[in-house]
Amino acid sequence: MKIIIVGCGRVGQTLAEKLNADGNDVTVIDTSSEKIRSVTDRCDVMGVVGNGATHAAQQEAGIDGADLFIAVTNSDELNLLCCLIAKKEGNCQTIARIKNPEYSKETQYLQNELGLVMVINPEYAAAEEIARVLRFPAAIKIEPFGKGRVELIKFRLSPEGLLAGLSVKEMMAKFHPDILVCTVERGDEAYIPNGDFVFKGKDVVSIVATPKNANDFFVKIHYKGHSIKDAIVVGGGVITHYLCEILERSGISIKVIEKDFKTCEEIASRWNKLTVINGNATERELLLEEGIERAGAFVALSQHDEENILLSLFAKEAGVRKLITKINRTDYDSVISRLDLDTVVCPKNVTADSILRYVRATKNSQGSNMETLYNIIEDKVEAAEFIVKEGSPVIGKPLKDLHFKRGVLVASIVRGERVLIPRGHDTIESGDAVVVVTKGQTIDNIADVLER
C-alpha cells in the first residue's frame, strides 16, 4: 500500500518504521527537516518537509496515488484538517489521531461525518491497559481477545515459585490448568515453547486463557495477586485524565501528584473522590510524606521517561508491590527490561499495532478478517486475532493434521460463547475468532499460518 503519514513525532516515527518493515510504500510529512532526516536515515521512506494540511505538501507526497493517509501530529484540529484535505484531494482512506478528552466523547460523530476509517487515541488506549493491570496486578500485561472472552496474560516467574524447574508438560500434568503457554522471554531470547521446554526463575511467560481459568491457574501455582485498594499516580496529563475516568467506579483510591497548579485544579474539579497533590514528585520527601511506602500501586505518567524510570525504581525500593511505568522511547528496551520495572506501557506501540492491523486486513481479507493485532514481544513475537470466513483452507481439519509454518501457534478459538484452548483434535470452523501467535512471521491472513 502507498501510505502518507503527517507528523514525525514518536507515534509517526514508530508507524513509519513498522509500516515500512511490513513492505508498504511510506512517505512522511513534517515541518521539521530534522525530524524528516531522522526517519529517512533510519528506514527506506520518502520525506517531505512542509505543512501536511496544505495542498502543496500533500501533492508533493503523492496524495493522488495514496491508499491511506494518517495524521498523527500533536494537534487534534490539524489532524482533522489534514484528513479533510486528503479525502478531497486523493479520495483515500484516512486515519486521525485524537487525544483531547473533549473530542474523545465525539469520536463516533467525527468518524462518521468526516469519513474517517479510524480514530486513534494512544492516550486512552494506554489508560485502558493500565486499568486492566490494576484490576489483576499479578500480571505484567493483559491483552483482551474475542471481545474480552479470552485474554493473553504476561507474568514473571519467581525463582522460588512452583513453576521454576518444571517443563511445560510437567506443569500441565501437575496442575491440569485449562490454559495455553504461548511465549517465554528469557533475557534477550524469545521462545514459543513445546512440551519439553523447562521454565526458569525470572522468565517472563505469556499464557492464553479465559479470565476465570487464568485466575484458577494463578491460585494453583500460588501466584496470588493482591487486590489494589489505592494507587499513587505521578503526572496530571491526558493519560491520567482517562485513567481517572475509567477507574472512577472501581473502588481504587487514587492520589495524583502534579506540579502544575492549574492542572491540579482541573483534575480536582472533575473528580471529587480523588486526592490531588500540587508538588514535585521527584522530591523524595514529598513521596514519603504522601505514603508511598503504604501504596498498593505506583503509576509513573510524567512527560519524561527518565523521571518515570527513576520514580518507579524508588517506589520499588520503598516496597510498592505494583509498578506501572510509561515509556515513550523504546531505543533502550533491552536496558529497561533488565530494570525489572514490572509493567511498562508504551502508548505509541498501542497505536502502531492498531494501524498495522487495519493495513494488513485491507491488503488481504480473503478467507479471514484480522480483528486484533498485538506485539507480545517487541519486534519478535506478535499475536493476531482473525474471524475465519467460509472457504478458508484451515476449516474443518484437526489442528494436528494441518501443516503449520515453523514459529506459529494457534492459541485460542472462540466459537460463539465457547472458548476453546486448542488441542490437536480440535478444528477451526467458519465464523470462529482464532488467535494466532507467531515468531518471525508476518501474518496478514489466517491462511498464512500454513506451509504452501
Looking at residue 198, what DSSP letter applies?
Answer: B
The answer to whether residues 47 and 134 belong to one domain is no
At residue 337, the pLDDT reads: 75
Cβ atoms within 10 Å of 265's Cβ, excluding its own: 14
Residues of the chain predicted below pLDDT 70: 224-226, 363-368
Instruction: With residue 145 as reference, give the H or E element that holds it.
Output: strand 141-145
The answer to whether residues 254 and 275 belong to one domain is yes
The answer to whether residues 215 and 251 belong to one domain is no
At residue 159, the pLDDT reads: 87
Among 167, 202, 220, the domain boundary falls at: 220
- Kindly report, residue by residue over 17-41, the tens digit of the pLDDT: 989 988 899 999 999 999 999 999 9
Answer whether residue 156 is part of any domain: yes
Answer whether residue 225 is part of any domain: no
Answer whether residue 352 is part of any domain: no
Answer whether residue 438 is part of any domain: yes
- Kindly report, residue by residue over 116-128, the tens digit of the pLDDT: 999 988 899 899 9
Q: How many domains does the chain have?
A: 4
Residues 6+ positions from 105 with CB-CB distance below 8 Å:
none
CA distance 7 to 205: 36
The answer to whether residues 12 and 114 belong to one domain is yes
Is residue 64 within 8 A of residue 58, CB to CB? The reply is no
What domain range is 46 assigned to? 2-120
Answer whether residue 354 is part of any domain: no
Closest CA to 189 of 397, 371, 443, 380: 380
Is residue 198 within 8 A of residue 391, CB to CB? The reply is no
The answer to whether residues 189 and 246 belong to one domain is no
Closest CA to 144 of 157, 132, 159, 134: 132
Q: Can you give the pTM of this predicted structure? A: 0.84
Answer whether residue 381 is part of any domain: yes
In the chain, the N- to C-terminal Cα span, in Å, equals: 24
CA distance 275 to 387: 44
The answer to whether residues 114 and 131 belong to one domain is no
- Provide the β-strand partners of residue 330: none
Answer whether residue 53 is part of any domain: yes
The answer to whether residues 107 and 144 belong to one domain is no
Cβ atoms within 10 Å of 86's Cβ, excluding its own: 26
The answer to whether residues 96 and 136 belong to one domain is no
Among 161, 192, 220, the domain boundary falls at: 220
CA distance 64 to 346: 34
> Can you give the CATH number for the domain in which 26 is found?
3.40.50.720
Cβ atoms within 10 Å of 420's Cβ, excluding its own: 17
Place of cell 473502588: 251
The answer to whether residues 35 and 79 belong to one domain is yes
CA distance 396 to 134: 40
At residue 224, the pLDDT reads: 65
Looking at residue 289, what DSSP letter applies?
Answer: H
The CA–CA distances, whole Å, from 380 to 351, 376, 407 equal: 18, 8, 11
The answer to whether residues 92 and 145 belong to one domain is no
Angle, helix 347-363 to helix 10-21, in steps of 10 degrees:
40
The answer to whether residues 200 and 235 belong to one domain is no
Looking at residue 160, what DSSP letter applies?
Answer: T
Is residue 412 within 8 A of residue 180, CB to CB? The reply is yes
- Kindly report, residue by residue over 344-392, the tens digit of the pLDDT: 998 888 778 788 878 877 765 555 678 888 888 877 898 889 999 888 9
Answer whether residue 201 is part of any domain: yes
Closest CA to 30 of 95, 22, 11: 11
Among 95, 120, 145, the domain boundary falls at: 120
Instruction: With residue 168 as reference, give the H or E element that holds it.
Output: helix 168-175
The answer to whether residues 261 and 329 belong to one domain is yes
> Can you give the CATH number for the domain in which 200 is found?
3.30.70.1450
Closest CA to 301 of 325, 317, 281, 277: 325
